[in-house]
Structure 1
Amino acid sequence: MTRAVRISLPLAAAFAILLWLVAATTQLPLADWPALPFRPDAMSIEQILMAFGTMPRGVMALLAGALLGLSGAILQVVLRNPVADPTTLGISSGAQLALVLATVFAPGILDYGRWPIALAGAGGAAALVLAVGAKRAFAPVTMVIAGLLIGMTASAIATAITLAQGEYLLSLVIWNGGSLVQQSWGGPRALTLTLIAGAIAATLLARPLRVLSLGAEGASGLGLNVTLVRLTAVAVAVFLAAAVSAEIGLIAFVGLAGPALARTLGVRGIKELLILAPLIGALILSICDGIVLTIAGQSGEMFPTGAMTGLLGGPLLLWLLPRLRGSTPPGTEAAEGPARRRNHPKTLILSLLAALIIAALVLVWIGRVPGGWAVLDAESFAAFLPMRLPRLVAAAAAGAALALAGAILQRLTANPLASPEVLGVSGGASLGYAATVFIVAAPTAVTLTTGTMIGGVVSLALITLFVSRRDMPPERVLLAGIAVSALASSVLSAIMAIGDARAWAILDWLSGSSRTVSLTGASALAATAAILWIAALSMHRWLAVLPLGHGVAGGIGLPIRLSRTLLIALAGMATGAATVLVGPLSFVGLMAPHMARRLGLARPRDQLTGAALIGAALMLTADFGARMAGFPYELPLGLFASLIGAPWLIWLMMRPNR
């Protein structure tokens, strides 16, 4: 054990104990604390709350933090990935989605306990991430990108379902934030048994993991069954994370922080890491919960502990990013083979435009009524047109703007997984919107637009500043963006859990909807999208050369710094313009440029135009589905965009390199 460990851990433990004692004595003076054995019939209300609420909560924080720290340590060792943990690999979000689905659609299943449901969701997410990782030899960057994107998809769907079920809204929002509130000692007892089982499993796995650290080929040469060890270790880590999710909800990034801080303190051996990571994880979660309890003692508990731990994740991931070894780009244009180019792209573009116009007219004319589907007559069409036209124009314009942003970012980074959602632009814009709602007493449309644009610009500035000083390859840029998105999601989770009326307005906006858009706003968004399209076309030469690399671009005299700055600003403006009116929509900026390229629109001008038309069509489809699927109630637009985008994303990442 290093000197840093011997000094730091006792100090952290003393601080955690002090925080908890301050919070507990604020609730009930030490002299009035109940004595063992606890007998509710002989206690006051305050003593019952202390004995069966505050005390088990303190123990639960230690146990949950230890389990997450151990889970993260096992994942990092077996995958040889220093930024792997239940959050970054989507495991916790998978458990969250499974529990939300069960609560809303099949509550009777919960009679058998939440653990099997959480384990099924966590296992499904882990299996999907491993399937993607296996296609890329479990490369660290690819694994984390896949995990975080799958986790973001699961969280988006869970949020949309939560919003659609008003009777479960408050409880699900608080649970999703990771609440440590306890009412008995049942949860701590269950997690104690889980921690004991996890410690035994980690002890048995320590030696095989040490052999596996030599590399898959070296370990196989020594007679180790690499596949069996990997699957067993991941299964143990998934079980530990699912147990925490089943008991207290989503606790983010503790599994990342525990092993990372252990290595920072000088721990190098696998055995020592598996011992110290749980201890550090327990202290991290205990300190975070102590801060929440201390604040609660002054003003009442305002947000769950899981929201505070999530605030650690983005900065910590950014700090670890330069230290991440191993790199497998999820794919480049060269790796995917030369793009098929159409001899007559204008014919296809005109066909896409005609199809978009026809689709818009059809979607205006048909709809659902109490008796079923119907085609509007001329009189009804005239009556409904003022209501439907603004949202159709807004949805199409937002899809076009996001598609333009995605096409720019994919060519700028030479990475087909780049998109506004992945690079953190949408997350930053969402924070700007939320901050405006809370800071400004009566925000106007102009104020909200300004705040949202500022949020998107700031997030892009952070990523640009971070990566420009380190000359990171394209896939690291994506991971930096995902880190910003994770931080934004955590802040928004904290805001949602407050329970303020403004938080519900933000939650409604986050799900994505064009129903409140006026014709003026829709027209302004359409005009903005058109201006951005023209601006992007004027930069087509830059977009053609930049994917070839800095060496080629600089060799032919391209102003690299200026071109990158202007293109990033253009992408940020496009994303902010779409986000402010219809929310942070998912995956349109990722899919549309790919679909355009697959159709043979390979040249920058053709791809930009085709992507904009396809993005508009995708958003029209999502808006129509959101209106009609749950008639007479409107479902969240973001849910439909996610359901369209998730299969595409999974297929894209599982394609083998060629």
Structure 2
Amino acid sequence: MYASTSGMPASQPDMPARLPIAATLLWLGALLASAAPWLNQLDAGAVVSAFWAFNPDDYSSVLAHFSWAPRVSIAILIGCGLGLAGAVTQQVLGNPLASPTTLGVEAGGQFGVTVATLFAPGLLAFSPDLVAIAGGLIAIGMVIVLTWRLGFSPVTVILAGLVITFFLGALNMAFLLLKGEWLGNLFIWGAGSLVQNNWGPFMELWPRVLVISVLILLLMRPLQVLQLGQSSASSLGARVGLIRALALFLVVLMTATVVSRVGVVAFVGLAAPVLARLLGARTLASRILWSTLMGGGLLLLADTLAHWASTWGDGSLVPTGTTTALIGGPIILLALQGFRNTHHMPGQESNLAGFQPRRRAPLLVSGIVTGLIALTVVVSMGWSPGLDGWNWTPVTQWDNAWVWRGPRLLAAMLAGVALGLAGTLIQRMTGNPMGSPEMLGISGGAALAMVLIVLTGADVGRAGQLGAATLGAAGALGLLILLARKHRFAGNQLLLGGLALYVFMDAGLRLVMASGGTVASQLLNWMYGSTWLVSETEAFGLLGFILLICGVLALIVRPLTLLPLGDTSASSLGLPVTKARLLLLLLAAVLTASATVVIGPLSFVGLIAPHLARVLGQQTVGRQLIVAGLVGGLLLALADYLSRIVVFPNQLPAGLLAALVGGVYFLWGLSRHGKA
């Protein structure tokens, strides 16, 4: 919890003067920025009176009353509600990084609306709140079940929430790719837009937000008791479990009510409490008050920036969810400054020897996996559905089949090899079996570069896209190095830096979803691993590159063997720890970038392959690298084949299938660690 002492403070701490000053400046700045364009058309009095009246003979007055004023009002209302929800979430879980966004509640709400749109549209007509609440409860319930045994460790909770967000996002994307004609507008809405054309949504929403807020405030005294710690609170007769359940249920109600009407407005529930705490809010009451006020001001400012961006550009809508996502990354890093994570990350307190399957001969294991890869290649090339049903393509006709099936299959296998090797490097380097290239944000940097190409309308061709993705990965790597340098590239800081990078990628994705169109659809296909975009030249180029990197990896076995022993032990054995981590991080980044341009940024193969290599009895570094690379290739070869046949004649991206399986595997790993 925030306070782990045995008693409450004897007196209330004084409120720093900077807290009300900062809140006042935030509100004044947001209101003036929002009203500035209208002051050129109306006098100040008419702008203020637009909230309750308008001049029917003045078009600007009508527009301000029915468009600008309700937009400002709903931004303030939603911001205050999310700020309050974020403060309560952090208090309940004792986690300064907890929020409806990082716990997956917002993604869960959107998933609920998506499923209802497809399978039970009558529920949406009855009440969109119900399906959003159900989705939010599922998401936060999964996070709590997975992390409560670990004491709600801040980093663990964030990782679990992020992976659940990934997983639900992958399901949403699968539905979008299969039923795009039904869900296209839904995903434009899901990017988070506060655009209004009347007062109806605000008048419908404010009573709900008010009632939920009052119910939350009624829990103030029980929530204060939680500051004593669970054991002390229980000894005073407080039903800690019930208090937490009620508070989190109200948080889900608040968040889902908002999501069901305006889409995902990310990170306001995280930013507002963090700013309030950094500015000096210490007691629960002050945190709730100032988080609520900060949330309203932040969302109004973010919405104003989104409106300005839409005006300055080509007229395309810039959703508010994009600008709020852009502040999420810096806020996460700001929240971690001076914050000491006393909990271990998942997998970190149990060393790599904690799970030791029976050792097996590497030649036997490698031979079996290679045989399975060969079998997959044969089945993929020869046995496929067609217009006249399933049929076998004779080997003599494989040269014709190669044109359609070969390059994508080869590229998928090579991407799997690259991710398997990169995942092994990262897990060995950080000493954290739950690390993966996707979680470092390197693949997110490559994806963000692709997003920028699409949004700028640059026609660079496939080669230009590959080059830009590589530069994006390198830029993400450079930023990651700067973020983690003072911590000697320790595991926690690397993964949390990767989380911040993912947030920026999320902002780009929201822009893409809001823009719609054919180009956006093509980009989203690539981001979820559409291997059908790969040409033969690209596939063989990737083959040569992977072979080159494999030669380099033979030289780094010793550093990978020593790093899991700890910095002190590795240094005493003559290893320059910081330089070794930097070199390994560079190799992992290059491997991840080469795979990302083929399979997209969200596959989780880099997490699964090293684990399976250990399950197959390969404990030493060299053996694990070899088997993890082979397993990664096998996994993505299977994913590519299944993506062609599961929904034939339609296709799913291979990376999407891998992301769904990988998300389940990651969550299983967290639950297994908690039981251990």
Cα distance change, pair 109–530 in 1 and its aligned pair in 2 (3 A): farther
- The aligned runs of 1:437-586 (5 Å cut-off) are 437=454, 441-471=458-488, 473-499=490-516, 502-586=519-603
Contact 2:412 2:633 in 1 (8 A): yes
Secondary structure in 2 matching 1:469? helix
Give 2:475's aligned amino acid. V
2:26 maps to a residue whose letter is: A
Distance 1:285 1:440 in 2: 29
2:137 equivalent to 1:123: yes
SS at match of 1:373: strand
Is the Cα contact below 8 Å between 2:75 and 2:303 reproduced in 1?
yes
1:369 aligns with 2:383: no
Q: Residue 591 of structure 1 aligns to a residue in which SS?
A: helix
Q: CA deviation at 1:306?
A: 1.0
CA drift at 1:245: 0.6
CA distance in 1, matches of 2:622, 2:416: 18
1:569 Cα deviation (Å)?
Answer: 0.8
* Deviation per residue, 1:359-410 (Å, 9 max, x gap): 1111111111234322224565443222111111011111111111111100
Aligned counterpart, 1:594: 611
Q: Which moved more, 1:60-69 or 1:175-184?
A: 175-184
Which structure 2 segments of 5+ residues have no match?
Answer: 1-14
1:323 shift after superposition: 3.4
In 2: Cα distance, 1:2 partner to 1:429 partner: 43
Q: Which residue of 1 aligns with 2:425?
A: 408
- Deviation, structure 1 residue 199: 2.4
2:54 touches 2:61 (CA, 8 Å); kept in 1?
no
Change (3 A) 1:291 1:432: closer
3-state SS in 1 of match to 2:532:
coil
Q: Which residue of 1 aligns with 2:635?
A: 618
Measured after TM superposition, the shift of residue 179 of structure 1 is 0.6
Matched, 1:429 2:443: no
1:33-79 Cα offsets, whole Å, 9 max, x none, are 79797799x67876654433322111110011011101100000111
Greater mean alpha carbon deviation, residues 559-568 or residues 28-37:
28-37
Q: Does structure 2 retain, via aligned residues, the 8 Å contact 1:65–1:284?
A: yes
Distance 1:343 1:6 in 2: 65
Q: Of 330, 334, 337, which residue of structure 1 is paired with 2:346?
A: 330
Task: For 2:354, give the aligned amino acid.
Answer: G
* Contact in 2 for aligned 1:304/1:494 (Cα 8 Å): yes
Question: Equivalent residue for 1:316?
Answer: 331
Superposed displacement of residue 307, structure 1:
0.5
Residue deviations 1:328-357, cap 9 Å, x none?
Answer: 220135276142352422111111111111
What is the aligned partner in structure 2 of residue 103 from structure 1? Answer: 117
Q: Which segment drifts farther, 442-451 or 624-633?
A: 442-451
Inter-partner Cα distance in structure 2 for 1:359 and 1:27: 67
> Does residue 179 of structure 1 match 2:193?
yes
CA separation of 1:490 and 1:3: change in aligned 2, threshold 3 A:
same
In 2, Cα distance between equivalents of 1:167 and 1:280: 39
Query: Is 1:457–1:572's contact at 8 Å kept on the other side of the alignment?
Result: yes
Deviation at 1:302, TM superposition (A): 3.1
More divergent stretch after superposition (557-566 vs 428-437): 428-437
**Contact kept? 2:481, 2:489, Cα under 8 Å:** no
Unaligned runs of 5+ in 1: none
Rounded Cα–Cα distance in structure 2 between residues aligned with 1:120 and 1:596: 38
Q: Distance in 1 between matches of 2:597 and 2:201?
A: 42
Q: Separation in 1 of the partners of 2:397 and 2:43?
A: 70
Counterpart of 2:259 (choices 242, 245, 255) is: 245
The offset of 1:115, in angstroms, is 0.7
Label 1:74 to 1:541 Cα distance change in 2 as closer, same or farther (>3 A): same
CA distance in 2, matches of 1:326, 1:471: 18
- Secondary structure at 1:602 match in 2: coil
Moved more, 27-36 or 229-238: 27-36
Q: 503-512 vs 8-17, which deviates more?
A: 503-512
1:368 partner SS: strand
Following the alignment from structure 2 to structure 1, what is the Cα–Cα distance between the partners of residues 604 and 228?
38
**Cα deviation code 1:452-496 (max 9, x no counterpart):** 112112212222221221357523432221121112211332244
1:413–1:547 contact (8 Å) kept in structure 2 = yes
- Alignment CA distance shift 1:367-1:415 (3 Å): same
Task: Give the match's secondary structure for 2:390.
Answer: strand
Report how far residue 105 of structure 1 moved. Answer: 4.0
Cα separation, 2, equivalents of 1:431 and 1:358: 36
Query: What displacement does 1:295 show?
Result: 4.0
C-alpha distance in structure 1 between counterparts of 2:524 and 2:51, whole Å:
44
Partner residue of 2:4? none
1-structure distance, mates of 2:597, 2:277: 42
Give the stretch that moved more between structures: 1-10 or 80-89.
Answer: 1-10
2:66 maps to 1:52: yes
Per the normalisation by structure 1, the TM-score is 0.94
Q: Distance in 1 between matches of 2:127 and 2:186?
A: 17
- Partners of 1:188 and 1:307 in 2: CA distance: 21
Distance 1:28 1:113, change over 3 A: farther
Aligned residues between the structures: 657
Map of 2:210 onto structure 1: 196
CA drift at 1:290 = 1.7
Residues 9 and 440 of structure 1: is their aligned pair in 2 closer, same or farther, counting only changes over 3 Å?
closer
1:501, CA displacement in angstroms? 5.7
Tell me the residue number matched to 1:264. 278
Partner of 2:317: 302
Q: TM-score, normalised by structure 2?
A: 0.92
Contact preservation (8 Å) 1:404, 1:608: yes
Question: What amino acid does structure 1 have at the position aligned with 2:324?
Answer: T
Instruction: Give, in whole Å, the separation in 2 of the partners of 1:206 and 1:629.
Output: 51
SS at match of 2:533: coil
Tell me, yes or no, if the aligned pair for 1:404 and 1:589 is still in contact at 8 Å. yes
Is the Cα contact below 8 Å between 1:364 and 1:388 reproduced in 2? yes
CA contact 1:336–1:657 (8 Å) conserved in 2:
no
Aligned residues of 1:19 and 1:294 also touching (Cα < 8 A): no
Q: Distance in 1 between matches of 2:395 and 2:345?
A: 54
Cα displacement string for residues 427-461 of structure 1 (whole angstroms, at most 9, x for unaligned residues) = 01111233345568431443322221121122122
Q: Determine if the alignment matches structure 1 residue 630 to structure 2 residue 640.
A: no
C-alpha displacement of 1:638: 2.8
Contact 2:191/2:321 (<8 A) preserved: yes
> Cα distance 1:31–1:4, how it changes in 2: closer, same or farther (>3 A)?
closer
- Which deviations, in whole Å up to 9, do the C-alpha atoms of 1:59-106 show, x marking residues without a partner? 110011011101100000111111110111111111112212222344
Q: Does the CA contact (< 8 Å) of 2:436 and 2:604 recur in 1? A: yes
* C-alpha distance in 2 between matches for 1:317 and 1:143: 13
CA RMSD, 1 decimal:
2.4
Pairing partner for 2:436 from 419, 430, 448:
419
Identity, % of aligned pairs? Answer: 36
Mark the CA change 1:228 to 1:471 in structure 2 (over 3 Å): closer, same or farther.
Answer: farther
Deviations 1:495-528 (CA, angstroms, capped at 9, x unpaired): 4423476444322321221112111111111222
Shift of 1:634: 1.5
3-state SS of 2:342 partner:
coil
Does structure 2 retain, via aligned residues, the 8 Å contact 1:70–1:277?
yes
- The AA in structure 2 aligned to 1:356 is I
